[in-house]
Amino acid sequence: MTEPRIVVVGSANTDMVVKAPRIPAPGETVLGGRFVMAAGGKGANQAVAAARLGCRVTLVARLGRDMFGQQTRENLEREGIDTACLAWDEQEASGIALIIVSADGENAIAVAPGANATLSTMDVERAEPAIAQASVVLMQLEVPLEAVRCAIELARKHGVRTILNPAPAAPVPADLLRAVDLVTPNEHEAALLTGVKPHGETGAETVARALLSQGAQAVAMTLGKRGSLLATAEGVQMVPAFRVQPVDTTGAGDAFNGALAARWALGVPLPEAARYANATAALATTVMGAQPSMPTAAQVERFLSQT
């Protein structure tokens, strides 16, 4: 079977993670425990997730000309990701994320985007040959919207399917929603996009239908411990979650998106792809760190065979 090709346009960060008993309240200091520094950033996370699941992945991102940027490039290459479309910024530092993870696996994150905020349409245009050969182009919102729009336009030009993960939560113009093939918000992001706050399964369905009414062609909404919800013009269906004991939920959404893109690139129907993505995300919560937690295809298949 030919390896599916995926182009990811997005961010690359270095994550600095502290495990703590709980997320501190404003003004509070909490004595933490284990510290982990790992590669992160939604774009790079999703690229690594797809690569470990057997895809040929190109990452379009911008790095600072510093120690963190060099380490990021080396890490991506170790994962087998094509780094030819990485751009270097001579003024801005590489992106950094400060993350606190509570005892129950929840997290609080602050990001200094650095060079991610300077990813330009020119950077994306240089990746057009890779986009033209891709099966899926996957994007998020940790880079400028102009770069995302450019990636969508180039993908449409070459008949390549697109996935927009609207994270972190931010407004998305209606014409952009209409232009992508699949939108993958979590509940908070979906609420911001629609102005409708979901409450339970029924509420999530209402929000998903609202996204469709705004022009989204298809929606795959992540619902945490409840799994995910798919909505298309043909209908809405829940895709159940897998039960695990979470250690760190950082990167679980990125695992879901990378896996969904990987299966969709193979031509797998969305419901089946979403079930696979749910399993991948569940496994990702059982390991500390974002990219270190991304499972391999063999690990996901073994997990699915045991459930």
Residue positions annotated with a catalytic role: 254
What six digits make up the tokens of 152?
């969508």
DSSP string, 243-306: ----S--TTHHHHHHHHHHHHHHTT--HHHHHHHHHHHHHHHTTSSSSGGGPPPHHHHHHHHHT
Taking each helix axis as running N to C, give the angle between helix 67-78 and helix 42-52, from 0 to 180 degrees, rounded to the nearest 10.
Answer: 20
37 DSSP assignment: E
Q: What does the block give as tokens for 262? A: 């990987």
Q: How many CA atoms lie within 13 A of 254 on its CB side?
A: 34
**CA 30 – CA 156 distance, rounded (Å):** 48
Measured at the CA of 288, the angle between CA 200 and CA 258, to 5 degrees, comes to: 60
What would the two tokens of residue 179 be? Answer: 């232009």
How far, in Å, CA of 39 to CA of 61, rounded?
14
Give the pairing type, strands 235-239 and 95-101.
unpaired
Cα 88 to Cα 60, 93, 144: the distances in Å are 11, 10, 16
User: Diameter of the chain by CA atoms?
Assistant: 55
Question: Which residues does 70 contact at the CB level (< 8 Å), separation at least 6?
Answer: none
